[in-house]
Amino acid sequence: MRLFLVLCLGLMLASCDSVSKVLKSKDPEYKLRKAEDYFAKKKYSFAQQIFEDIMPYFKGTQKFEDIYYKYAYTAYYQHDWVNAENLFKTYVEVFPHSTRSEEMEYMRAYTYYRQSPKPELDQTNTIKAMGMMQTFINTHPGSARNKEAGAIVDASRAKLEAKDRSAAKLYFDLGQYRAAATAYEAVMNNYPDSQESDMYLFMAIKSYYLFAQLSVEEKREERYGKVVDECTDFMDRFPQSSYVKEVQQFLSLSQNQLKAIAHEPSKTPA
């Protein structure tokens, strides 16, 4: 094992020394050949250093576009998403009429998707990825990449939905029923094509009912009335839902509460 580590270290030092010698060369064409050789061998860190060194020399030549193209990918293949995004963006700006510009637009959006974190974390990059992929689809309706772009849009939307769903559940678990009801309704409205729309409205109803139960006397009538309205809306929207029976129970309970409130002494005309 120790011998293996020593050999690996020796190879790394030899490679670094080789790159150093290339960088010291005064021949840009030789440097370009070495950079392309490293790139082909997937030694992206070495290729990146040399491409960066020779770009000023080749700027304005026919070779510059291909150099910049590979240079951008050296960052991508090293998972340096922030740098790769900027390089893909710059490529499109510098070479707007290139046959590769569509690819670069897609890859720029894809770098944001690769930076998309777990649902419970900040989703700024997820939102950017979804928006940019949708723009790509709209801008390039005939692109062969649209199937993949559409899948990323769907995956990003599902992640955002999961985050919003978790936030609504947290409100409910903390007993903040008014906030939970509002949050669940927002999830339902923001993701109208979700397979869980009926669950979101059911949880909103449940939250409204529990909120009504905890309300002061003068607010109960209004809030049980809200539950009745939401239950009626649910039955119209989701008549075949597996939650129908439970919704009917909340409807009946709320109607009974409203009847009881109506017959309280304070509600009886003098």
Q: Do 44 and 74 touch, CB atoms closer than 8 A?
A: yes
**From CA 185, how far away is CA 192, in angstroms rounded?**
11
Token readout for 244 is 């129908």
DSSP-based three-state secondary structure for 163:
helix
Burial class (CB in 10 A: 0-12, 13-18, 19+), 247: buried
Neighbours of 240 (CB within 10 A): 6
Q: Do 127 and 161 touch, CB atoms closer than 8 A?
A: no
Residue 191 is inside which H or E element, if any? none
pLDDT digits (tens, 9 = 90+) for 64-73: 999 999 999 9
| Residue range 252-269: mean pLDDT, rounded | 84
For CA atoms 94, 100, 105, 107, give the dihedral sign: negative
DSSP-based three-state secondary structure for 264:
coil
pTM of the predicted model as reported, rounded to 2 decimal places: 0.85
pLDDT at 9: 42
Token readout for 222 is 């209004």
- Least confident range from 1-5, 50-54, 211-215: namely 1-5
Distances (CA, A) of 76 to 73, 138, 143, 225, 244: 5, 25, 22, 57, 50
Comparing CA positions, the residue from 16, 18, 30, 92 lying closest to residue 58 is 30
pLDDT at 18: 85
pLDDT digits (tens, 9 = 90+) for 16-52: 568 999 999 999 999 999 999 999 999 999 999 999 9
pLDDT digits (tens, 9 = 90+) for 182-197: 999 999 999 999 999 9
Domain residue ranges in the chain: 175-262
Residue 236: DSSP 8-state: H
pLDDT at 267: 53
Look at residue 12 and tell me whether its pLDDT is greater than 80. Answer: no
Topology at the third CATH level for domain 175-262: 1.25.40
Q: How confident is the model at residue 5 (pLDDT cuts 50, 70, 90)?
A: very low
pLDDT digits (tens, 9 = 90+) for 80-134: 999 999 999 999 999 999 999 999 999 999 999 999 999 999 999 999 999 999 9
